[in-house]
Chains A and B, each alone.
Chain A
Amino acid sequence: MLLLECPYCGAKCEETELSPGGEAHIKRYGPGSSDQDFEAYLFMRENPKGVHFERWRHVYGCGKWFHAARCTQSLEVFGTYAAQTFEPPQEIKDKISAKRPGWSWRDFS
């Protein structure tokens, strides 16, 4: 059972205090978007074996959504960060690079 640190309240939370929210950094496409973009927004997901970026909510605690960078294979957590961002903080990307050289995920690497 995972242990993730909520970046808002600093609490180390066990998985039962959290609710998962799927993939992070998804761009919303609304009216006027192409069928292809809209399909990708709603349905297309990475599902990688390795480095992944996810959304979690500290639902039983402070109620805040946050992002987690972790490895889906080893369950190593590279870091958690606020949800109000379009890309992972450089510090976390550096940490992943140190541990998983050559990693890439969508447009990030």
Chain B
Amino acid sequence: MSMRLKTGGRLVNRASQVEFNFNGKRLFGHEGDTLASALLANDQMLVGRSFKYHRPRGIVASGAEEPNALMNMGEGAKFEPNQRATTTELFDGLSVGSQNHWPSLEYDIGAVNGLFARFLSAGFYYKMFIHPRPFWKHIYEPFIRQSAGLGKAPTEKDADTYEHLYAFYDVVVIGGGIAGLQAGRTVAASGASVLVMEQTAHWGGRAVVDGGEIGGQSTEDFVNDSLEKLAAMDNVTLKTRMMGAGVYDHGYVLGYERVSDHAPKTTGPRHRLWRIRAGQIITATGAIERPLSFAGNDIPGVMLASAVRDYVVNWGVAVGDRTVVVTNNDDAYRTAIALKQAGLDVPVILDARANGAGSLGDTAREMGIRVENGKAIAKVKGGKRVTGVAICAQAGSGGVLEEIACDAVAMSGGWSPAVHLYSHCGGKLNWDDQAVMFRPDLNRRPTDQNGEGFVTPAGSANGELALSAVLADAIARAKEAVKALGHKAPSTRVPEASEKGENAVEPVWLMPQGAGDKLRMKTWLDFQNDVKVSDVQLAALEGYESVEHTKRYTTLGMATDQGKLSNINGLATLADALNTDIPNVGTTTFRPPYTPISMGAIAGAARDEVFQPLRQTPMQGWHDENGADYEPVGHWRRAYCYRRGSETRAQAVEREILQTRKSLGLLDASTLGKLVVKGPDTGKFLDMMYTNMMSNLAVGKCRYGLMCSENGFLIDDGVVARIDEDTWLCHTTTGGADRIHAHMEEWLQTEWWDWKVYVANMTEQFAQVAVVGPNARKVLEKLGGMDVSKDALKFMQWADGTLGGFKARVYRISFSGELSYEIAVPANEGRAFWDALLEAGAEFDVMPYGTEALHVMRAEKGFIMIGDETDGTVIPQDLNMQWAISKKKEDFLGKRAQQRSHMVSPDRWKLVGLETLDGSVLPDGSYAFAPGTNANGQRKTQGRVTSTYYSPTLGRGIAMGLVHHGPDRMGEVIEFNKVDGSLVKAKIVDQVFYDAEGAKQNV
């Protein structure tokens, strides 16, 4: 059984007690425990069920590579699935549940899938679930839904907070083991700024567990000494609990800081995502031990040898009383020795190599450990935990020589450098036959904006496994990095380190070498996605030769651990099945993040009221207080209408329109774009921007204008006012202000840079109010201060002055067909001006109206709206607006495009008014059918609705639409489709429904 030992555990504080909860059970651990070490200390060997077969699974590793121990963690608004027990620090009150089982972890009905294992082989989705069709709905889909996914989805909004931080360093060192610390020291000595980050809460990595001496100090003292020296330097930042999540182009690195996961009750963000720019990146990310492939290697109690050692040394936890060690390299002997030193039994070390180990083998034998060279595990015995192993010769096909009772197996298939971060941005690897690993090719590192390498692996991440070699490599790589930045490399010398004479690792991809079908079907490669040796071999047999295809077909390495343990074993298996060598098969692509990071960290602060910027006009406070029912217009929120009491939206809109047409309405038009364009060449410039002529607009006058793209299509419209000899003010649509400002800047800067024109976006300098209705003039006269009479300020003119003490610019323009003034005042006075209008307008029952009333009133007048009548494919000619296209101008944006054959085709759909025969409102966007069907058997069409409303003024539905030969077909009745599939008849009419002579606005 697994248990806490009486002594040992360099990271735990034995004086402390931490209570936590696993599947409803109250358990205890110590400060310094991970959830994994605490579970093992409580003999909780079984921690979950596998994805496909629901096989019992235990903890395999001690770090980020753990594939099995994924937990549903927390409750309610703090719930999060798939939390790794090995990287979760224990805290008081921690509550977790195991995943992927029903009804309970101990008794799981889904385990019956195991009986059908041969039907769930590689590609089972593709093979099984195609035929017969009815099976899909009733059998396959329910089955997949039941078993798909790991963990539960949260049901509540995340209660935690997150943030980002932009940081800049000359060098970023990822990994706080001895390589990272030594590299950090070397960089720091050069004067360059350096950040050293470590994903766990502790510095030192493997070396402090594995022991040895550096420069006469213990590895632990060396680490502490290094930290002290680094902390004393101004140019050094040290961060624990921060993972290098991804390396991207041009020195961009994401650092995932888990600020308070270990202490969730503290104030502050849970995670902070560091968005870092580094001149050079050193990946001192260490190496990851590989499992061995033998039958039953997924039974709880079978663990990586290094993890077994970590639990004993770091947390004083024994995984078992009797641990069999099985290996193809010398490092696993350290585990046997550490166990023995802790007073635990190691019945045998099974070394697959015929010649066995070097000096560590001698040490083990001297301690009384039985060592068997050339031997392998034929099969692990046990169900929910290991009960023993059957031993065979590695060279054979699995004939059992002996069975040994044990409750744990420590396996080591060699080490793979953690090249993930090195590879994210394109770093290339070479296969090293001697070291049996892919290691970085320093001549093909990822390159930066200068075309130079910017990511350098160091230490074990660069394939160096021995203490002295790790330190030497860290120093050499760090010197290269600082030189690349133009700094002088410091004269750091490599400290002396103790060495054990180790024998070479030998490749062992299957154990025993000649294992037959039956064994291979119980030999796991990918624990999390339940992929076996037999699956990869089957994929190869079925023609999957590319490793990328095999990965997707078998799902090998596609789980949340991204195959940290399984990939190399998997591709070696594939290489063997394809009868080729490993470099020929190659690796799959390493992609960020290194391990999954929280969605919260990615979003950062962007949630709730700062999810996105919401733009507010100076009158927003009034709208809020007066029932505004908002709609988004770009990033603005504009009042669609103002609801009173129990009114519906439609009732409010009707009230607002009728009162405006009858007496007086007010619209907050502050969002309209206001671009001031000034300079001696402005007339020439605006003649290019607009389809009509703007250069000849008289000072003091206004003109409606259209803007097209070079493609000829309408992009914006608005009223232009000539302010003085060389200044114009261009109104744009609400959504168009920033876009048209950018459009103007682009043409001025990149095409006509010699033209003397400046543009300023003055949109937000002014609050703008449309004062609309028969009593509009009266209310302005009541405010007083300037002459707004019919003769003094004619339709389509503007004037500066004061109104009620407010300095104001008054445009006499109308988008409603009524007598109308649009008045701009300084934004800071907007609210006061609005209030003054309401007060002065009270006697006329002034009626603030929203965007829907605006839309309906403009449609009653037949005015187009950018975004309704236009959709990026409509030219002014389609809208019968030839009157707004200058024939005199040689050129304007869109002119040449509008001469293309398709643009001048008489078959283009053109704008008309539409009136249903029954007075109903046409559905928005509905199509008019034409006789016959197209090649796909669909009804042909001859037009579509672009704007459609109920007109309170007329008491019926009105619409505009684009119709084939529309203007030539006045009075004709055509049919439009409705949502329910029926048709509605509508007559083609003139688009101006209200006051066609324009008498109302001209008073």
Residues of A within 8 A of B (CB): 1-3, 14, 21, 28-33, 35, 38, 42, 55, 57, 59, 63-65, 71, 74-77, 83-84, 99
Contact = CB atoms under 8 A, between A and B. Distances in A.
> Most chain-A Cβ atoms within 10 A of its Cβ — which of B742, B745, B749, B899?
B749
B252 A1 contact: yes
B708 to A, nearest CB: 13
5 cross-chain pairs, A with B, having the tightest CB-CB distances, nearest first: A76-B451, A3-B250, A84-B753, A77-B449, A65-B749
B709 to A, nearest CB: 10
Contacts of B896: 29-33, 38
> Most chain-B Cβ atoms within 10 A of its Cβ — which of A14, A21, A57, A75?
A75
Contacts of B753: 83-84
B275 to A, nearest CB: 9
B487 interface: no
A31 B891 contact: yes
A1 B246 CA distance: 12
A2 B249 contact: yes
B755 to A, nearest CB: 12
A76 B449 contact: yes
B710 interface: yes
A31 B899 contact: yes
A55 B897 contact: no
A59 B745 CA distance: 11
Contacts of A74: 447, 451
B722 interface: no
Contacts of B251: 3
A73 to B, nearest CB: 10
B982 interface: no
Given A1-B252, A2-B250, A30 B449 contact: no
A64 B749 contact: yes
B731 interface: no
Contacts of B447: 74-76
19 contacts: A2-B249, A3-B251, A3-B449, A14-B252, A14-B277, A28-B710, A30-B896, A31-B890, A42-B710, A55-B750, A64-B749, A74-B447, A74-B451, A75-B250, A75-B449, A76-B451, A77-B449, A84-B749, A84-B753
A57 B743 CA distance: 12
B340 to A, nearest CB: 51
Nearest to B709: A42
B30 interface: no
Given A1-B250, A42-B710, A84-B753, 7 more contacts: A1-B249, A28-B710, A31-B899, A75-B249, A76-B447, A83-B750, A84-B750
A30 B895 contact: yes
B450 A65 contact: no
Given A75-B449, A77-B449, A21 B250 contact: no
Contact of B450 (A2, A32, A76): A76
B751 interface: yes
A88 B252 CA distance: 28
B499 interface: no
A1 B710 contact: no
B750 A31 contact: no
A28 B750 CA distance: 11
Contacts of B742: 57, 59
A32 B900 CA distance: 11
Contact of A1 (B248, B751, B890, B897): B248
B451 A99 contact: yes
B897 A42 contact: yes
Contacts of B249: 1-2, 75
A29 B447 CA distance: 39
Contacts of A57: 742, 746
Interface in B58-105: none
A92 to B, nearest CB: 14
Given A76-B447, A76-B450, A99-B451, A83 B749 contact: yes
Contacts of A33: 896
A39 B88 CA distance: 60
A18 to B, nearest CB: 13
Contacts of B745: 63, 65
Contacts of A64: 749
A57 B747 CA distance: 12
A99 B452 CA distance: 11
Contacts, number: 66
B749 A35 contact: no
B749 A3 contact: no
A3 B895 contact: no
A57 B746 CA distance: 9
A74 to B, nearest CB: 5
A30 B277 CA distance: 44
B50 to A, nearest CB: 38
A55 to B, nearest CB: 7
Contacts of B749: 64-65, 83-84
B711 interface: yes
A64 B742 CA distance: 10
Nearest to A78: B451
Contacts of B252: 1, 3, 14
A5 B581 CA distance: 45
A15 to B, nearest CB: 9
A28 B710 CA distance: 10
Contacts of A63: 745
A59 B750 CA distance: 14
Contacts of B899: 31
A50 B172 CA distance: 29
B630 to A, nearest CB: 27
Nearest to A41: B710
Nearest to A38: B896
Interface string B213-257: 000000000000000000000000000000000001111100000
Interface in B869-894: 890-891
A21 B747 CA distance: 12
Contacts of A31: 890-891, 895-896, 899
A28 B451 CA distance: 33
Nearest to A83: B750
B986 to A, nearest CB: 37
A65 B750 contact: yes
Contacts of A1: 248-250, 252
> Most chain-B Cβ atoms within 10 A of its Cβ — which of A29, A63, A71, A76?
A76
A30 B899 CA distance: 10
Contacts of A77: 449-450
Contact of B746 (A2, A65, A75, A84): A65
Nearest to B710: A42
Contacts of B448: 76
A94 to B, nearest CB: 15
A64 B753 CA distance: 12
Contacts of A83: 749-750, 753
> Most chain-A Cβ atoms within 10 A of its Cβ — which of B449, B711, B746, B753?
B449
A17 B449 CA distance: 17
Contacts of A29: 896
A76 B251 CA distance: 12
B891 A30 contact: yes
A83 B899 CA distance: 29
A16 to B, nearest CB: 9
Nearest to B749: A65
A31 to B, nearest CB: 5
Nearest to A21: B746
Nearest to A33: B896
Contacts of A38: 896-897, 900
Contacts of B890: 31
Nearest to B738: A59
A32 to B, nearest CB: 8
B120 to A, nearest CB: 41
Contacts of A84: 749-750, 753
A63 to B, nearest CB: 6
A34 B225 CA distance: 76
Interface string B855-871: 00000000000000000
A10 to B, nearest CB: 15
Contacts of A65: 745-746, 749-750
